[in-house]
């Protein structure tokens, strides 16, 4: 499905705070990792440390996807955004926004995770997946 054909309910689902599964090529197998993300309406944005193997793999083969699914207690639903990934060095603001969104500041674990990410955010890279195809169920 092309982006202009995506129902508003899919956009709404992607803007909720959920964990996505980022999938890209890797060696010797494709790599899938859980990630925090931001949906802009046309692309998925996430961040990573720059030295991770996935960054090199994306530079060699930029095809990637993100799967977001409903929780077990919710009605069955999932969305897959597929496209070409780009990597840039400016992810500090994205890392901070996603920490504000995903880290529970009412818990010691949430505060510690946010502090850890804030300490290394200057080294983070931004990964953007331009939505070339969107598939969904539910």
List the CATH number of the domain containing 100: 2.30.110.10
- Structure letter (DSSP) for residue 125: E
- Total number of domains constituting the chain: 1
CA distance 72 to 19: 13
The parent domain of residue 13 ranges over 3-137
Q: What pLDDT does residue 51 have?
A: 84
- Please report, in tens digits, the pLDDT of each residue of the chain (138 residues total): 777 789 999 999 999 999 999 999 877 888 999 999 999 999 999 999 888 888 989 999 999 999 999 999 999 999 999 999 999 998 999 999 999 999 999 999 999 999 999 998 888 999 999 999 999 999
CA distance 104 to 96: 13
């Amino acid at each position: 499905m092309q982006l202009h054909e995506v129902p508003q309910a899919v956009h709404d689902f992607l803007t909720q705070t959920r964990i996505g599964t980022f999938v890209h090529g890797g060696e010797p197998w494709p790599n899938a990792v859980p990630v925090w993300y931001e949906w802009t309406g046309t692309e998925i944005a996430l961040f990573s440390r720059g030295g991770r193997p996935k960054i090199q793999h994306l530079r060699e083969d930029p095809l990637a996807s993100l799967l977001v699914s409903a929780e077990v207690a919710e009605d069955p639903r999932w969305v897959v955004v597929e496209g070409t990934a780009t990597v840039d060095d400016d992810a500090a603001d994205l890392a901070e926004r996603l920490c504000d969104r995903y880290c529970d500041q009412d818990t010691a674990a949430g505060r510690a995770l946010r502090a850890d990410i804030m300490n290394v955010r200057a080294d983070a890279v931004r990964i953007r997946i331009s939505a070339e195809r969107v598939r969904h169920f539910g």
